[in-house]
A and B are shown apart, each in its own frame.
Chain A
Amino acid sequence: MSTLLLEAERVKSYYHTREGTVKAVDDVSLDVENGIILGLAGESGCGKSTLMNTLMMKIRPPLYLVDGEIIVDGERISKMERKEIKKKIWGVKISLVPQSALNALMPTKRIIDFIRDVVKFHVDVSDGEIVSMARKRFEELNLPEDSLYLYPHELSGGMKQRAVIAISTLLNPKLLIVDEPTSALDVSTQKRVLKLLLDLKKFKIIDSIVFVTHDIAVLRQIADRLVIMYAGKIVESGTLEDVLSNPKHPYTAGLIHAVITPEPEIRKRGLVSIPGEPPNLINPPSGCRFHPRCLHAMPICKKVVPELVDISNGRKVSCHLVKA
């Protein structure tokens, strides 16, 4: 039995806005085991980034943790003071490379100065030690050491993203969360970033990764497990192979069918897109939130919220079509 690095139980986090309450993460339970790469996929606006921020307890108004518990490496961070989380958890046990990471670096600071500030916040070491630590890490990861002495705008998009990832993992956190790290990069650069993530794991700098993207073909290359999110809820999860070869939720099947890659299997089936648009999360549809777009919807789907049930060996689905 593998150990769990992260456990989230019945988590709800909502944005309180003037227009109403946005139920961006609504009753989500999720485990991340030691040693795996977990891929989280779902359409734009389904709550992926909100969920990641919540798992980190990076929560500030208008976002509120309404309910649920989050445990990271044995520590119940959902109850912890923000100051303690900053000191003991972020960067040390769990690190997040946010969706906007390409802009996360300070434009006025060289990469090395940025690193110095980040590291000093957590540990008491000299400047010299930090520099040698950073150089060693960049060398280990095959990143040009010269880039440490450049300003962010002097780096290409791909190099910037790799630098941000290297910096986020400098203190060897157990879990790294990367939110759409390659969506703004071209395919060749994307591959280099993915390779870097695998290296981080191979060299045991980190133990597990949560990789967020809307691109399932990317997850196919690196993930061990797949979690599919729709309108603030997890609708399906399982091993990558199981979910891709035998999707149980109609939404998962739709997402997989919308993938466009140059392969004979896909040429044969043609391009299919899921009809309609994801719902507004202030007033999500009743029952199963996917029912208005689902080709298999039954009367019950409109009325009863389907539970996420374990159908076999950790394979979970939340759909009235599927019997436990």
Chain B
Amino acid sequence: MLLKVKDLSKTFIVGLLRKKEIHAVRKVSFNIKKGEFISLVGESGSGKTTTSRMILRILKPSSGSVIFEGKDPWALHKIEDLKWYWKQVHGIFQDPFASFNPLYKVDRILYQTFNLLNIESDAEKEHLVKESLKEVGLRPEEVLGRYPHELSGGQRQRIMIARCYLLKPKLIIADEPISMIDASTRAGILKLFSDLRNNYGTSVIFITHDLGLAYYVSDRIMIMHNGSIVEEGTPDEIMEHPKHHYTMRLKEDVPLLYRKWKGF
């Protein structure tokens, strides 16, 4: 098993005068095998990002555990060990704009990955950067040397995926990497994740609120609601025989191309 998540929970305390607890994630458990593609689907505020931030070792869990290749990332403290973890478990965030600093050329976001890799030669670095861009369907000469606002949303998103080709992580957590992107660019980007899985055996946790997207790419879908996983199954099980009423609602709310909603 590549990743074991057991009873993972996060409670935020908000408010200064009257303290209030927000149970963002409640006892979430699941396992991921090498090369497995799973989707975590749920509405806004259901706890998807909080879950992914705990796995990425950005946010400390309130309770429960994350075990990656037998190791608890929260027990790692030496810089070498942390570098190892962040090379193996790589996050692609919701808003690709937020990941880019508008003041720096986009090259930086790619060259930053060398902090986690042992490559010294500049020529070798440049070669690898160019190769990674080609892998995601970008022409290096068209994107290198540019600023984030000079690229389309789709191009920025592809650059984030190019980082995966440089790092070759064992697990990618992609938090709605396509929500703001064109429908026509989506298909291409989903395919890039599948390619990574097929070529390198990369496991993927794909986070989205669109059950329709999850249906195409996943081996397994987990439905998240109010911080808990309320149902899981193969895409066909989830789409054809949803058991939880929340899953049924999510399914009904996906706009379809060949069918119109009732009452619309």
A interface residues (Cβ-Cβ under 8 A, vs B): 43-45, 156-158, 183-191, 194-195, 198, 214-218, 220-222, 244, 254-256, 258-263, 265-267, 271-274, 277-278
Contact = CB atoms under 8 A, between A and B. Distances in A.
B245 interface: no
Given A185-B44, A189-B44, A260-B190, A194 B264 contact: yes
B184 interface: yes
A188 B249 contact: yes
Contacts of A244: 257
A221 B154 contact: no
Contacts of B216: 260, 262, 267, 271
B254 interface: yes
A272 B187 contact: yes
A157 B44 contact: yes
Interface in B169-193: 179-188, 190-191
B255 A187 contact: yes
Contacts of A222: 264
B250 interface: yes
B259 interface: yes
Interface string B247-264: 001110111111111001
Minimum-distance CB pairs A-B, first 4: A186-B209, A258-B184, A273-B187, A217-B255
Given A44-B181, A215-B183, A220-B255, A260 B212 contact: yes
B254 A262 contact: yes
A258 B180 CA distance: 15
B183 A259 contact: yes
Contact of A216 (B43, B187, B191, B257): B257
Interface string B142-156: 000000000011110
A261 B254 contact: yes
A170 to B, nearest CB: 24
Contact of A44 (B152, B213, B250, B261): B152
Contacts of B114: none
Contacts, number: 128
B215 interface: yes
Contacts of A274: 184
Contacts of B264: 194-195, 198, 221-222
Nearest to B46: A186
Contacts of A190: 253, 255
Contacts of A195: 264
Contacts of A221: 255, 260-261, 264
Contact of B212 (A158, A184, A256, A261): A261
Contacts of A185: 44
A156 B46 CA distance: 13
Contacts of B239: 262
B183 A258 contact: yes
B210 interface: yes
14 contacts: A186-B44, A188-B209, A191-B253, A214-B182, A214-B184, A217-B183, A217-B255, A220-B255, A220-B260, A255-B183, A260-B213, A261-B255, A262-B235, A271-B191
A277 B152 contact: yes
Given A185-B44, A190-B253, A267-B216, 10 more contacts: A44-B152, A44-B153, A44-B182, A214-B184, A221-B261, A260-B187, A262-B256, A265-B257, A271-B216, A273-B185
Contacts of A215: 183, 255
A43 to B, nearest CB: 5
B211 A191 contact: no
Contacts of B45: 156
B44 A44 contact: no
A216 B152 CA distance: 20
A158 B216 CA distance: 27
A314 to B, nearest CB: 22
Contacts of B180: 183-184
B183 A262 contact: no
Given A43-B184, A191-B261, A271 B190 contact: yes
A245 to B, nearest CB: 9
A194 B216 CA distance: 25
Of the candidates A188, A216, A262, A272, the one having the most CB atoms from chain B within 10 angstroms of its own CB is A262
A188 B43 contact: yes
A33 B122 CA distance: 61
Question: Which of A195, A222, A261, A265 has its CB near the most chain B CB atoms (within 10 A)?
Answer: A261
Contacts of B253: 187-188, 190-191
B196 to A, nearest CB: 16
